[in-house]
Structure 1
């Protein structure tokens, strides 16, 4: 039986979309030739709220990233920690390490407010030293680890004309369990390919880990560059694009972070991210009318801000189809060609399973070939489980919509896993 055209389009869209996206996983653009010989001075900001399990490794790694060509200072923003975080940081003897302690009632008002306080601290020092134009502010979370040569790569990109910010690749370092491995597949392969495509389109998004921005660019937004949005990093990226600031993405420098190893905490994290993405839709009109954004870049912005809102109705359609199929099998009603006749049912099931599973297998192969730090059988296992991982994202979006309707915007911090000293 011939299927309707829209049915064939629906069946093909998902694998074709992933195939096109995967092509950009192989793109590794070099920075443009250096246009300015000026030395860039880096501040790495580490927002910390009860990070006693991970903060020592993170601070020591950040201090090691500096060199004569890329001098670095590290600012730990202790956002009202009541565990051993202050004592651990105080025990690290290095004159490049600065600590900004925020106590209640100013503390614990969200990561954005903590970053704004850190920005004002750095801006005052740079203004006093006369180094505002050379200063770069980078964000690494409390569980983050930068790769060797990270600052050299970022500096090369920032010396290109018109570039005001750089986003680095993100990986997961505790990927020994399947759930964390799935997150590394997501960040290290799929999100990496998406950002590489956006680097071409001019619509690179900012992430919470591994973002670097010129201090002179942050100054465009007054004393508070970061907002109270639940994904303050994504919103900062949107504000940079609206201001005409070019953001680049690099695969050659990366920051690793802890993956979540239980489903409950992962669902809570993804619900927060989904809620933040939904909040960012308030910029749709500004993006659509911006003189700095046009063409395919504008289309990409519209897609990743609108699609989260479509997740709920599309998932309802999917549930309806799951109900219709058994009804069709029992009654023989094809519902206008939507469901294959009984004789073609096995063939239809094969096509649907192929459309569902092949993208994950394709990403597993990309992940294995490009990164070469996990065996093929683990990569394939993650690829086969990828559709279930996406289902978790759908559930998170449902929860995010309910939270927006109920005007709930308060979140408990995700607890870290203990780490051995690095």
Structure 2
């Protein structure tokens, strides 16, 4: 290997390492400076396309063995109000629960609560099928009442979710634009007093928020499993089963809507809170499922590339979202192998050309260390600046743990590839943590959060 080739390798290695912090700073700059002005302009122009303000709201709560959390979730959902005092109807899909979930639901006596019980063998075929059953129920009731499906919005709040008090008002504000068929609200973590909870809130409250805000400006917003709101008319256009058996049925629904020309918007002015997974084994299992779902959605890239309504910028962002985890996994292996080879070469007295001294190896290690920890601390400052509901000390602690969190993501990526290659699709449900029942005062506080 020539000296010139060695320098090319060094330059390429540093470029790979520095790409992450540089892109982080660019995304932070965008999130802090551009989003507010864009959102104001977007909403101010929305009525130019007519007034599509929703008039009817349904909240679907998919429930499988949710006895420890579903009571709080349903009570919080029943308290949500929309424009003009409109109140949401809540439809819980009990997907074959064999714990006390049916008893908890039966104890909630409310005229706007309905429970759709699915028993085996129909039950437990995945969250997507449970949502489809609820959607068909709502579509039938809407048709029977003679209501325009354009004016009906279906929201998804998971069994451990609680929406902010203004969530229906904010969704309505976004959907005044008749072109908008779906809205995704911000997701936050409730049990962020735990370290893993704080790290996941850093992820959702700062990083995901910035990414979704960027996608909002180029019409590539992705739908999440919690806090997604869609017009019934947009779902009807997708047929009898809008949600699929994909392991990330929410991501796939968003891709199908983009292909159908449906506008999707993101808002951080309303939020839904959920529980963090605070067990490392269960967290890795959850992220493996998400990663495997991403693999399953890669098949949509060909259709997206052929779709005339998808701009080049939008396509590149979707490709980045779907493919970047696998690129990161490969690059990490390459960097580890290159560093290991350099270390072995120095120990054996045969240094590799690109790291031929211990000082060069130490310098590279120092840069790698700084690059690994730098983005987390930047996002901690963004979180503190934007949300101001966590102490700087806790956020910095979460930032210090963030690289370990990313390592779990890499492990999940490799596991997902293995599972997809071997055809494994079955998943155990994520366990919930018990919570105290919400008293009326606590309920109002939770909804205002």
**TM-score, normalization by structure 2:** 0.90
Q: Which residue pairs with 2:3 in the alignment?
A: none
Q: Report if aligned partners of 1:278, 1:308 keep a CA contact under 8 Å in 2.
A: no
Distance 1:300 1:38, change over 3 A: closer
Q: Which residue pairs with 2:234 in the alignment?
A: 217
1:333 CA displacement:
4.6
1:66 to 76, 81, 105: 81
Separation (CA, whole Å) in 2 of partners of 1:273 and 1:20: 26
2:248 to 207, 222, 231: 231
User: What do you get for the CA RMSD once the two structures are aligned?
Assistant: 1.7
Alignment partner of 1:77 is 2:93: yes
1:269-290: CA deviation from partner (whole Å, max 9, x where unpaired):
0011111011001101001111
1:311 CA displacement:
4.2
Distance 1:64 1:189, change over 3 A: same
Distance 1:317 1:7, change over 3 A: closer
Distance 1:128 1:340, change over 3 A: farther
The alignment partner of 1:372 has SS state of: coil
Separation (CA, whole Å) in 1 of partners of 2:400 and 2:349: 32
1:40-62: CA deviation from partner (whole Å, max 9, x where unpaired):
21100000001000000000100
Q: Report if aligned partners of 1:73, 1:97 keep a CA contact under 8 Å in 2.
A: yes
Q: Which residue pairs with 1:54 in the alignment?
A: 69
The alignment partner of 1:248 has SS state of: strand
The alignment partner of 2:158 has SS state of: coil
Q: Report if aligned partners of 1:58, 1:143 keep a CA contact under 8 Å in 2.
A: yes
Separation (CA, whole Å) in 2 of partners of 1:254 and 1:149: 9
Q: Which residue pairs with 1:16 in the alignment?
A: 22
1:387 CA displacement:
1.1
Separation (CA, whole Å) in 2 of partners of 1:142 and 1:213: 18
1:179 to 185, 196, 204: 196
Matches within 5 A, 1:9-408: 9-26=15-32, 27-28=35-36, 29-30=39-40, 31-32=43-44, 33-34=46-47, 35-36=50-51, 38-67=53-82, 68-131=84-147, 132-331=149-348, 333-337=350-354, 339=355, 341-408=357-424
The alignment partner of 1:221 has SS state of: coil
2:425 to 409, 415, 418: 409
Q: Report if aligned partners of 1:332, 1:341 keep a CA contact under 8 Å in 2.
A: no
Separation (CA, whole Å) in 2 of partners of 1:161 and 1:332: 70
Question: 5+ unaligned residues in a row in structure 2: which ranges?
Answer: 1-5, 439-449
The worse-fitting range, judged by mean Cα deviation, of 33-42 and 59-68 is 33-42
Separation (CA, whole Å) in 1 of partners of 2:365 and 2:11: 18
Q: Report if aligned partners of 2:189, 2:197 keep a CA contact under 8 Å in 1.
A: yes
Separation (CA, whole Å) in 2 of partners of 1:376 and 1:55: 32
The alignment partner of 2:91 has SS state of: strand
Question: 5+ unaligned residues in a row in structure 1: which ranges?
Answer: none
1:22 CA displacement:
1.6
Separation (CA, whole Å) in 2 of partners of 1:136 and 1:253: 16
1:29-80: CA deviation from partner (whole Å, max 9, x where unpaired):
2434443175521100000001000000000100111244433110000001
1:170-194: CA deviation from partner (whole Å, max 9, x where unpaired):
0000111101111110011000000
The alignment partner of 1:202 has SS state of: coil
